[in-house]
Amino acid sequence: MKITSTSCICPVLVCLCFVQRCYGTARHSSIKVTRNETKHIEGETEVHHRPKRGWVWNQFFVLEEHMGPDPQYVGKLHSNSDKGDGSVKYILTGEGAGTIFIIDDTTGDIHSTKSLDREQKTHYVLHAQAIDRRTNKPLEPESEFIIKVQDINDNAPKFTDGPYIVTVPEMSDMGTSVLQVTATDADDPTYGNSARVVYSILQGQPYFSVDPKTGVIRTALHNMDREAREHYSVVIQAKDMAGQVGGLSGSTTVNITLTDVNDNPPRFPQKHYQLYVPESAQVGSAVGKIKANDADTGSNADMTYSIINGDGVGIFSISTDKETREGILSLKKPLNYEKKKSYTLNIEGANTHLDFRFSHLGPFKDATMLKIIVGDVDEPPLFSMPSYIMEVYENARIGTVVGTVLAQDPDSANSLVRYFIEYNAEDDRFFNIDANTGIIKTTKVLDREETPWYNITVAASENDNPGLLSHVTVGIRVLDVNDNPPELAREYDIVVCENSKPGQVIHTISATDKDDFANGPRFNFFLDERLSINPNFTLKDNEDNTASILTRRRRFSRTIQDVYYLPIMISDGGIPSLSSSSTLTIRVCACERDGRVRTCHAEAFLSSAGLSTGALIAILLCVVILLAIVVLFITLRRSKKEPLIISEEDVRENVVTYDDEGGGEEDTEAFDITALRNPSAAEELKYRRDIRPEVNFTPRHQTLSTLESIDVQEFIKQRLAEADLDPSVPPYDSLQTYAYEGQRSEAGSISSLDSATTQSDQDYHYLGDWGPEFKKLAELYGEIESERTT
């Protein structure tokens, strides 16, 4: 098979086609490819037979953008099996087969029926096959070939990022790089010059230039001044075909702005200025403005103003407004037209951000002279002092002079001045002022403890012009006099423990005084000497404005007396000294061992003995347990009662001992001794000795008269005989012991029983006559006597 192509760019395979396409010959050249055969070299035998491909494929080329009326011829397919008789049929398949590319199935000619665009698709892959027209069997294996779309210059260069906005500092050196622009061409860069771009500048000369190959834009002049021209519009062109005639081009705009640098110093428009300021201008207020111009912008135009010299340096000050870049002139001290009518100031404005590259253009500061004219105005009266402090004693009589204020007219007219106090409608008027002299007096009696300080405002006006007012503050301090006696600092709750000891501190008290410090402390505490000595408590002055309450005896009882009262006296350190009396209430309470108060109310005996609630509960539990044991024991004894004598052989001698201490002859409840002293009465009642008899005892005063003449020895003998013969006693020996104390002595019974109710008629007042050694004993027995009396 042979392949014939009409492309004149195929170097070897389609060289004959080049003659046809370029010179218009009608004959198609082709390269004949026959079947692969193994040739025989003379003298050698055939060693191998291998069939080779019967056709050779190659690339076809077709020009893009074909606009002719006829289909564009692409090439020709030919098989070695084709004898020209039409028996071979050519079939074309693949991309665009039948739609874009068609083939003459008899001749094998391929044509393009549509205009192609290489920028959309660069090549097409197709398959060709030769078959027998009669049998439809392939004569050759299917082969693949490519049809490439040949590029033509049909796309102009484009700037995809334009238009551009860029900045460059003013005063830059010539050749400073500004921006690099890049244009793209959609044509084939590997074929011809269709995509070879060259840059040129169409607008922006002579200020800028562009590199034709790289597209870098640079400054073309020295010292481009922003203040002269700030914005530039530069048009850059990109042309393909290496810039040759006939090439396509595209352009873009580059907007270049020169940025500011500090290359211009500030300048005052005038060298001399004049400013009018009235003498009534307030201190601290702005009285004028001044401004220097700077051609730069932003921070390069920032400046500060200062007063460098002049006779008004101490009177005026200048500051800089950062927003408007103006100098604000302010008043530091009051003006007085009568003293000085004008001032001169030299003011300087200087840049704050300097660029030393342009220091040769300096200096970056400027100065001007300002003359200030002071204007005369009718001023209000002027007080001699900016404020006044006066003093007056409290309780002073109405009309007492407190002090004097003075104001004068500062103008040359020197008008008379009138004074008055400015009061609010709800204020109490404690003072008034003489309208002509300015003397301030009291109108009410002052109390320092109620109001220690008064602030009043005094106004002054001229008689000729009452509308012009000046004001001054007058502070009046009320001085203290000793007119308040001291008193206890608070209500005290004083407690004394029942187990307190003599001399024990039970509380500390303090005092307060409404008067000033000089008339208050130091406080003195003492007992009223007009009253008798308190036997229970005393007072000790601690000499530090406090006093201690001490006990004078031991042990207090709530059951006897639960509240005591102690009158005390307190005096202050004022001149003259004042004193007051107070009464302290002292409660008697039960306390723990560490002094903590347990209760201050009357309690049962066990509680007063110092038993806590827990201890009482424990005692009750023990009592309940003991009772339960006794009940259980009695129950067991009743259920099983043993005989007194276990057996006849168990006859023992026993000694029954009754160890009862007794309470003496005064004790009529612990043991009945009537039978011991009265044998005749004992004969009537005979009981068992091992069981306690239930006897109604005879009252003590009825039996004492019959016991004095009893023969005790005879009585004991009778009892012994009675015991031996009594059948009710146990059947073994027993020992019964009787004790007789004897007749009562003159000193009375020493038994502790019933002693709490014994009344003594002894008088202990004579102990007070025994001297200071027995003073404490006399006080103790005196308290007991007092309590009994109570």
The per-residue pLDDT for range 443-479, each reduced to its tens digit, is 999 999 899 999 999 999 988 888 889 999 999 999 9
160: helix, coil or strand?
A: coil
C-alpha span between 444 and 400 (Å, rounded): 10
pLDDT above 70 as % of the chain: 76
- How many of the other CB atoms lie within 10 Å of CB of 348? 20
C-alpha span between 756 and 753 (Å, rounded): 8
pLDDT of residue 414: 80
Question: Which amino acid, residue 106?
Answer: T
Residue 506 has pLDDT above 70, yes or no: yes
pLDDT in tens, 197-251: 999 999 999 999 999 999 999 999 988 999 899 999 999 999 988 878 878 889 9
C-alpha span between 218 and 179 (Å, rounded): 7
Decide: 525 and 548 in contact? Cβ < 8 Å.
no
Question: Which amino acid, residue 144?
Answer: E
Angle ∠(464,465,466) on CA atoms, nearest 5: 110
Query: Going along 221-264, which residue ranges are E strands?
Result: 231-239, 249-259
Q: Report the greatest alpha carbon distance in the chain.
A: 198
pLDDT of residue 119: 76
Residue 186 has pLDDT above 90, yes or no: no
Secondary-structure percent of the chain, ordered helix, strand, coil, rounded to 5: 15, 30, 55
C-alpha span between 505 and 497 (Å, rounded): 11
- How is 616-671 classified by DSSP, letter by letter? HHHHHHHHHHHHHHHHHHHHHHHHS---SSS-TT---------------TT--SS-
pLDDT of residue 58: 64
C-alpha span between 365 and 350 (Å, rounded): 4
- For 607, which DSSP code? H
Per-residue pLDDT band at 120 (split at 50, 70, 90): confident
Decide: 331 and 295 in contact? Cβ < 8 Å.
no
Of 760, 745, 738, 719, which Cα lies nearest the Cα of 666? 745
C-alpha span between 68 and 288 (Å, rounded): 87
Residue 778 has pLDDT above 90, yes or no: no
CA 241, 247, 250, 256 torsion-angle sign? positive
Decide: 233 and 204 in contact? Cβ < 8 Å.
yes
Please indicate whether residue 140 or residue 319 has the higher confidence score (pLDDT). Answer: 319
Residue 69 has pLDDT above 70, yes or no: yes
C-alpha span between 325 and 297 (Å, rounded): 11
Residue 153 has pLDDT above 60, yes or no: yes
C-alpha span between 158 and 139 (Å, rounded): 52
Contacts of 690 (CB under 8 A, 6+ apart): 656, 729, 730
pLDDT of residue 452: 92
Residue 33 has pLDDT above 60, yes or no: no
Contacts of 86 (CB under 8 A, 6+ apart): 106, 133
Contacts of 700 (CB under 8 A, 6+ apart): 668
Please indicate whether residue 190 or residue 553 has the higher confidence score (pLDDT). Answer: 553
C-alpha span between 349 and 40 (Å, rounded): 111
Per-residue pLDDT band at 143 (split at 50, 70, 90): confident
Contacts of 308 (CB under 8 A, 6+ apart): 346, 347, 348, 367
pLDDT of residue 190: 76
pLDDT of residue 113: 84
pLDDT in tens, 570-628: 999 888 889 999 999 999 998 888 778 888 875 544 444 455 677 888 899 999 999 99
Contacts of 360 (CB under 8 A, 6+ apart): none
141-160: string of b/e by CB count within 10 Å (b at 16+)? Answer: eebebbbebbbbbebbbebe
Residue 568 has pLDDT above 90, yes or no: yes
- How many of the other CB atoms lie within 10 Å of CB of 682? 17
Residue at token pair 């009743």:
638
Question: Which amino acid, residue 438?
Answer: G
Per-residue pLDDT band at 744 (split at 50, 70, 90): low
C-alpha span between 263 and 221 (Å, rounded): 17
Decide: 412 and 447 in contact? Cβ < 8 Å.
no
Query: Phi and psi at residue 591, in whole multiples of 5°?
Result: -125, 160
Of the candidate ranges 180-194, 259-273, 614-628, 642-656, the one whose mean pLDDT is the lowest? 642-656
Of 537, 551, 544, which Cα lies nearest the Cα of 583? 537
Average pLDDT, the chain: 79
411 torsion bin: left (phi>0), alpha (psi -120 to 50), beta (else): beta
Decide: 390 and 402 in contact? Cβ < 8 Å.
yes
Residue 53 has pLDDT above 80, yes or no: no
Query: Going along 406-468, which residue ranges are E strands?
Result: 407-408, 417-422, 431-433, 439-442, 453-462
Residue 718 has pLDDT above 70, yes or no: yes
Residue 399 has pLDDT above 90, yes or no: yes
CA 706, 707, 711, 716 torsion-angle sign? positive
Dig out the tokens for 182 from the structure. 């890049």
C-alpha span between 360 and 224 (Å, rounded): 17
Query: Which of 219-233, 701-715, 772-786 reaches the highest mean pLDDT?
Result: 219-233
Please state whether beta strands 2-5 and 72-78 pair in parallel, antiparallel, or not at all (unpaired). Answer: antiparallel
Per-residue pLDDT band at 108 (split at 50, 70, 90): confident
Summarize the confidence of residues 505-510 as an average pLDDT: 93
Query: Phi and psi at residue 257, in whole multiples of 5°?
Result: -120, 130
C-alpha span between 234 and 224 (Å, rounded): 15
C-alpha span between 688 and 656 (Å, rounded): 13
Angstrom distances, CA of residue 426 to CA of 398, 419, 438, 569, 684: 21, 21, 24, 43, 107
Per-residue pLDDT band at 781 (split at 50, 70, 90): confident
Please indicate whether residue 676 or residue 95 has the higher confidence score (pLDDT). Answer: 95
388 forms bridges with which residues in the sheet? Answer: 474
Residue at token pair 């400027």:
366
416 forms bridges with which residues in the sheet? Answer: none
C-alpha span between 667 and 744 (Å, rounded): 12
pLDDT of residue 116: 84
Claim: this prediction has a pTM higher than 0.85: no
Question: Which amino acid, residue 403?
Answer: G
Of 181, 315, 328, 326, which Cα lies nearest the Cα of 252? 181
pLDDT of residue 337: 86
C-alpha span between 579 and 4 (Å, rounded): 146
Per-residue pLDDT band at 739 (split at 50, 70, 90): low
Question: Which amino acid, residue 248?
Answer: L
Q: For the chain, what is the radius of gyration of the CA atoms?
A: 71
pLDDT above 90 as % of the chain: 37
Residue 365 has pLDDT above 70, yes or no: yes
Residue 353 has pLDDT above 70, yes or no: yes
Residue 516 has pLDDT above 50, yes or no: yes
pLDDT of residue 745: 53
Residue at token pair 């005026």:
316
pLDDT of residue 658: 54
C-alpha span between 344 and 276 (Å, rounded): 12
Dig out the tokens for 250 from the structure. 């595209």
Decide: 229 and 182 in contact? Cβ < 8 Å.
no
